[in-house]
Structure 1
Amino acid sequence: MSGNSTEWWRNSVIYQIYPRSFCDSNGDGIGDLPGIIQKLDYVKSLGVDAIWISPFFKSPMVDFGYDVADYRDVDPIFGQLQDFDRLIEAAHERGLKIIIDQILSHTSDQHPWFEQSRSSRDNSKADWYIWQDPKADGNPPNNWVSVFGGGSWRWCTRRRQYYLANFLKEQPDLNVHNPEVQEQLLADMKFWLDRGVDGFRLDAVNFIFHQQALADNPARPLRLDEKGLPPVNLYDYQWHKNDKSQPENLVFLQRVRQLMEQYPDTVTVGEVGDDNTHKIMTDYTTENRLNMAYSFDLLTEDCSAEFLRETLEKNREVIERGWPCWSISNHDVPRSITRWNKGFSAELAQTRAPLFLLMQLTLRGSVCLYQGEELGLPEADIAFEDLVDPYGINLWPEFKGRDGCRTPMPWVQAEKNAGFSTNKPWLPVSQEHQNLAVSVQEDSQHSMLNQFRSLIEWHRALPVSLATAQQEVINTSNDLMVFIRRTADEEFLVILNLGKNNEQYTLPSEFISAKEITPKLFKNQHGGAVITLAPAGACILHRKNS
């Protein structure tokens, strides 16, 4: 199912590839671009529309590619620029779009721009980053703290000034208030558009601008954990009013859109994380800015029907006026089959994974799947000595970081390292993952892999009208997630059981004689006006308006 041909991204299914962990073609233990090319037929077989590739730019890899040292070149561990050109060509031959990560808010401290900027206070790039004098007592200019823990301001002995780094100290923030920086960022995006990319996933898109007055962030009421202790990460102690989500972002994103419109059928999807995500997502996907935005709203541990109803209600404006991209897993959070199944049996957890995909496919918006989700991979348990993520190393043991969701893709059960690499991989392959390898699931009709394929195929066969149909969430008092999708001519009723017990739902009168179009792998008892759903059950009804 898709919408207008010039808006292919509406209701699309995007497959995220984390290149370090997808497929290693040369045996160095790190996945690469030629490895992705080798597996394009597999990706095509899933039925997805596009691939989002996490950063492959030249980088010292302190934050595994999100610290960019050259926006216009491929890091040697991933291959060469020619490999990317081959990847674009091979993907397009298979009808797959390619979306790449673009980081507009910060670079690596080894980027030539920063090396020049920090060399003196009067060079041509002195104002390309955010520099400030210390307070009279030597302290930083304000109280801003880093996402990864600790203060956001880092001291530079060369300039005798602080620079802003909202993530790691090796990731200095660009001063995008500077018009020269804006022009350079747009030119670097144009470089990849000219090479044929179909769009950009804009990393931490609401961090692009900071408040120039540098006012302190206000304190946030502390949310104590079950032990009565405050948050582990200092970032949770503030409302982030001044260090991100500034009004200048909106103007700059319109400039990004103007560039994208010079390249027909391209798309932008922004990553938005904020205290007021739903409003920002609306602002960012309206008024000719981004095409889509996705947030961390569904990347939490709560997946109860009540929470999801509240989340969809909060996001009503972006759902109606903008365009959301629904993601329940990515490279930054524990895998959904672990995160969303706490308290559920292992058997029920496996049956709930297709239900989560069905929910994503039927909500108004697009879908982003993370590599390995289609295999039902759980979060890998990584020993401290094997951790490489600085986020986890800094906050261990209360927070183990992001390595558990970034382990290598298991391709062949019987091969060393599950067929990912002939040599020791950059992160260990979980034995549990090895047993869920593609080779094990490929020929099993009822495997998670083939269930995902059948659901995406079912989705593609739905009426085109559903792509942009309006959405109304029904407020039930049980564990059922119920919503209606409406067009002028037809309606779809979606009923999902997210709980542990059988649940009943009394149909609205207009749906009693509606046609059931539920995918075959979901069960329910449909008799008259009452639907009974077992745990992880679903029912989808379709009716034409008279």
Structure 2
Amino acid sequence: MKAPNNGWWRGGVIYQIYPRSFQDSNGDGIGDLPGITQRLEHIAALGADGIWLSPFFKSPMKDFGYDVSDYCDVDPMFGTLDDFRALVARAHALGLKVMIDQVLSHTSDQHPWFLDSRASRDNPRADWYVWADAKDDGNPPNNWLSIFGGSAWQWDTRRCQYYLHNFLTSQPDLNFHNPQVQDALLATVKFWLDLGVDGYRLDTANFYFHDAELRSNPGKGAPDPSKPDPAVNPFNPYAWQQHLYDKSRPENLPFLQRLRALLDQYSDTTMVGEIGDDDGLARVAEYTRGGDKLHMAYCFDFLGQPHDAPFLHGVLQRFDTVVGDGWPCWALSNHDCERSATRWGGPNPDPRLIRLAAAFQVSLRGTVCLYQGEELGLPEAQLRFEDLQDPYGITLWPQYKGRDGCRTPMPWQADAPHAGFSTGARPWLPVADGHTALAVDRQAGRDGSTLGFFTQLLHWRRDQPALRHGRMQLLPRHPQVVAFERDDSVQRLLCVFNFSDQPATLALPAGWIGAGTLAGSGLSGARIEGDTLHFEPWGGLFLQAP
């Protein structure tokens, strides 16, 4: 029987927590679940509706928790199951939903399932992972590549076969063509639902199935450096293929329907899927339309370098064309990419751009995902090679520095050791230079602070039904300005943003003459003169129809 769902996630704000870097409660230099519980009031006061916790399951930590060795337990470095129960109880008491990161496409090579699978070709779990014989010349069965560089196939001497790993060699891919694998994974999802979680962020949600025939991907050549793609790392040959056979297979859809049917047995639950695909928006549409698969999904269109008005307009135009009744989740930063303040604003980002980007993000049709520290305006941390922990960055250094720069500890108290993150001698990553000046205690309650702006913006947004649930109509393309209308049955808004460091003007569209500025968001830098909008650099405004 389908349980009721109040749709809290639809148009809500989800705050992503990277547990290793949020708050260390025991002085070992690594953030943990009790530390998160201590800081939940910050998130509730900010105006978020829920939290997403990156993985905290048992793991050898070769990829910092995205290599799971036990889906149904907490890694001791993060705490215990009782610590998790306490976190959920405190979050719910504060009105926050709790979503956890479920890594279903692959496990650690230390997971008992893989230890059994690699032991022989005829044991009960022999077919739980993707195994293949070598070609006659000893090479892997096809040309599939790992996102972390090199072949996606690793030779195993126990079975004298290759196994598939779309990520690290220590992250073997599960074989979703085996119904037993699907059943076992769904049982782990149910385990956490029974503990009270309100939903899931699904890691690499389009990677579950592979082509059963193991056909090679067609090549497309090196990326054109003059046409940057936000979803592409130009230093990684993974981008040189059309990924037709190693991911985004049609068999994914029935499994997502099984997953949705399970969540639908629990009240007010949700799922957001991470989509890394050659056509991310199309995949978001496919995976979220119809109300029987993912509730929402996000791709990487806003997680790369381009951010000027024509680019943003183009993404929204394509979104309007392909998504239909699907539901997106919009993120500007996360634990896998350079922080948006630096990626969009350079080494010394203008605070006006940071605020404009936030106002733009919360105005879009969809759900908002805010990464920890964005509310402080944190720039990307610049780390020495000796401080790196990310295997991706260590492998591709120096052209690509990896993901550590967005994962450094959250600064809470400017004058405390390690900015209040840890009382230990050395945190797992150093607190970034320049972050202490942006610490929570330096910004809280201060007029004009970035934290104050985010808090005002998110609380204001809660009272704007057109932004949370309304339709969206994009205005014509402009070289500097992005503009669109949002409307529902009770409210009609015009949202306008000057994504340039130069002044701009825009003629008021038909039907908006005489409209008034909607106060309360904190956004500034624009004014109305007659039938023309005038913008300062990085200025924007919201108009409400009379």
In the TM superposition, what is the alpha-carbon distance from 1:17 to its structure 2 partner?
0.2
Moved more, 89-98 or 430-439: 430-439
CA–CA separation in structure 1 for the residues paired with 2:311 and 2:227 = 23
Tell me if 1:416 matches 2:421: no
- 1:445-464, CA deviations, whole angstroms, 9 ceiling, x for partnerless residues? 211111110110110121x2
Task: Return the letter of the residue paired with 1:508.
Answer: P
SS where residue 321 of structure 1 aligns? coil
Structure 2 runs not aligned, ≥5 long: none
Q: Tell me how far 1:283 sits from its aligned partner.
A: 0.6
Name the SS of the counterpart of 1:180 in structure 2: helix
CA contact (8 A) 1:105 1:204 kept: yes
Match for residue 496 of structure 1? 497
Please name the residue that 1:263 is paired with: 266
Structure 1 residue 523: Cα displacement: 2.5
Whole-Å separation in 1 of the counterparts to 2:214 and 2:428: 40
2:526 counterpart (520, 524, 531): 524
Find the residue that maps to 1:263 and give its secondary structure.
Answer: coil
How far 1:301 sits from its partner (Å)? 0.5
Q: Which amino acid aligns with 1:72?
A: C
Alignment match, 1:275: 278
Task: Please state whether the residue corresponding to 1:483 is helix, strand or coil.
Answer: strand
Cα distance in 1 for partners of 2:531, 2:176 equals 58
Contact residue 466 and residue 487 of structure 2 kept, 8 A: no
> Is 2:482 the counterpart of 1:481?
yes
Partner in structure 1 of residue 69 of structure 2: 69
> How far off its partner does 1:465 sit?
4.4
Aligned to 2:304: 300
Q: Report the counterpart of residue 200 of structure 2 in structure 1.
A: 200
Q: What SS does the corresponding residue of 2:20 show, helix, strand or coil?
A: helix
Matches within 5 A, 1:12-51: 12-51=12-51
Amino acid at match of 2:324: E
2:448 corresponds to = 446
- Pairwise CA distance, 1:490: 4.1
Instruction: Tell me how far 1:468 sits from its aligned partner.
Output: 2.5
- The answer as to whether partners of 1:57 and 1:72 remain within 8 angstroms in 2 is yes
Per-residue CA shift, 1:510-536, capped at 9, x if unaligned? 111123214244131212211101111
Matches within 5 A, 1:277-426: 277-287=280-290, 288-317=292-321, 319-342=323-346, 346=348, 349-423=350-424, 424-426=426-428
**SS of aligned partner of 1:129:** coil
Whether the 8 Å contact between 2:105 and 2:207 is mirrored in structure 1 is: yes
Conserved in 2, the CA contact under 8 Å of 1:318 and 1:324? no
Q: Secondary structure at the match of 2:538?
A: coil
In the TM superposition, 1:452-471 aligns within 5 A as 452-462=454-464, 464-471=465-472
Aligned AA (1:390)? P
CA deviations on 1:390-449 (whole Å, 9 max, x unpaired) are: 000000001000000000001111111111111200001112011111111113121111
The Cα of 1:486 is off from its aligned counterpart by 2.8
Counterpart of 1:49, as a letter, is D
How far 1:231 moved relative to its partner? 3.8
Given that 1:320 and 1:470 are in contact with CA atoms closer than 8 Å, whether structure 2 keeps it comes out as: no
Partner amino acid, structure 1, of 2:262: L
1:282 positional shift: 0.4
Taking structure 1 as reference, are residues 184 and 318 closer, same or farther at Cα in structure 2, changes over 3 Å only? Answer: farther
1:346-385 superposed Cα distances (whole Å, 9 cap, x missing partner): 3x62111111111111110010000000111100001001
Residue 507 of structure 2 corresponds to 506
SS of equivalent residue, structure 1 residue 281: helix
- TM-score scaled to structure 1, two decimals? 0.96
Classify the secondary structure of the residue corresponding to 1:142. coil
Question: Which stretch has the larger CA shift, 73-82 or 517-526?
Answer: 517-526
Q: CA deviation at 1:58?
A: 0.1
The 8 Å contact of residues 105 and 173 in structure 1, kept in 2 or not, is answered as yes
Matches within 5 A, 1:140-179: 140-179=140-179
Partner of 1:539: 541
Contact 1:319–1:365, Cα closer than 8 Å, also in 2: no
The aligned length equals 536
SS at match of 1:310: helix
Offset at 1:5? 7.0
Aligned residue identity for 1:102 = Q
Query: What is the root-mean-square deviation of aligned Cα atoms in Å?
Result: 1.6
Partner residue in 2 for 1:244: 247
Q: Distance in 2 between matches of 1:212 and 1:425?
A: 44
Contact 2:527 2:534 in 1 (8 A): yes
SS of 1:256's equivalent in the other structure is: helix
Contact 1:481 1:497 in 2 (8 A): yes
Structure 2 CA distance for partners of 1:175 and 1:408, relative to 1, 3 Å: same
Distance 1:127 1:319 in 2: 36
Verify the 8 A CA contact 1:407 1:428 in the aligned structure 2: yes
After superposition, what is the alpha-carbon deviation per residue over 1:193-246, rounded to whole angstroms, capped at 9, x for unaligned? 000000000000000000101110000132243799x94212011111100000
Structure 2 partner of 1:189: 189
TM-score normalized by the length of structure 2: 0.96
Match of 1:505, SS?
strand
Return the offset for 1:488. Answer: 4.9
The offset of 1:487, in angstroms, is 3.0
Q: String of CA shifts for 1:300-323, please: whole Å, max 9, x gaps.
A: 101011001111112224553100
Question: Is 1:132–1:163's contact at 8 Å kept on the other side of the alignment?
Answer: yes
1:254 aligns with 257
Secondary structure, in 3 states, of the residue corresponding to 2:395? Answer: helix
- SS of the aligned residue for 2:457 comes to helix
Query: Alignment identity in percent?
Result: 53
Amino acid at match of 1:363: L
Q: Bigger CA drift: 443-452 or 207-216? A: 443-452
CA distance in 2, matches of 1:268, 1:319: 17
Return closer, same or farther for 1:173/1:101 CA change in 2, 3 Å cut-off: same
The aligned amino acid for 1:304 is: D
SS in 2 for 1:98: strand
Partner of 1:132: 132
In structure 2, what residue type is equivalent to 1:147? I
Structure-2 separation of matches of 1:296 and 1:465: 25
Q: Does 1:235 align with 2:261?
A: no
Question: SS at the partner of 1:72?
Answer: strand
Stretch of structure 1 that moved more, 15-24 or 503-512? 503-512
Which range moved further: 500-509 or 96-105?
500-509
Q: Is the 8 A contact 1:282 1:317 kept in 2?
A: no
- Distance, in Å, in 2 between the alignment partners of 1:527 and 1:235 is 51
Out of 12-21 and 311-320, give the one that drifted further.
Answer: 311-320
Matched residue type, 1:459: R
Q: Distance in 1 between matches of 2:222 and 2:390?
A: 26
Per-residue deviation at 1:276? Answer: 1.3
Counterpart CA distance in 1 for 2:322 and 2:88 is 31
Structure 1 residue 542: Cα displacement: 1.4
Cα distance in 1 for partners of 2:93, 2:224 equals 53
SS at match of 1:225: coil
Specify the SS of the correspondent of 2:293: coil
Shift of 1:467: 2.5
